[in-house]
Amino acid sequence: MIYEWITDESELCRQVAEILADGQVVGWFQGRMEFGPRSLGARSLLGDPRQPNMQSLMNQKIKFRESFRPFAPVVLRDRVAEFFEWNEGVDSPYMLLVTDVHENQRIADTDEATATGLARINLARSTIPAVTHVDGSARVQTVDARRHGRFHRLLKAFEQATGCPVLINTSFNVRGEPVVCRPEEAIRCFLATDIDVLVLECGLVRKADQSADDVGARQRYLKEFVLD
Tell if the pTM clears 0.85, that is, is over it.
yes
If one compares 23 and 134, the residue with the highest pLDDT of the two is 23
58-67 residue pLDDT tens? 988 888 777 7
For the cut 80, the answer to whether the pLDDT of residue 119 exceeds it is no
Domains assigned to the chain: 4-222 (3.90.870.20)
Task: Please give the average per-residue pLDDT across 10-16, as a whole number.
Answer: 99
Q: Which residues contact 163 (CB under 8 A, 6 or more apart)?
A: none
Q: Characterise 34 by phi-psi region: left (phi > 0), alpha (psi -120 to 50), beta (else).
A: beta
Q: Is residue 224 over pLDDT 90?
A: no
- Residue 21 β-bridge partners: none
Residues 168 and 48: their CA atoms lie apart, in Å, by 6
- pLDDT at residue 52, as a whole number: 87
- 160-203: per-residue pLDDT in tens? 999 999 999 999 998 888 999 999 999 999 999 999 999 999 99
For the segment 70-89, the average pLDDT, to the nearest whole number, is: 96
CA nearest to 207, candidates 61, 68, 79, 14: 61
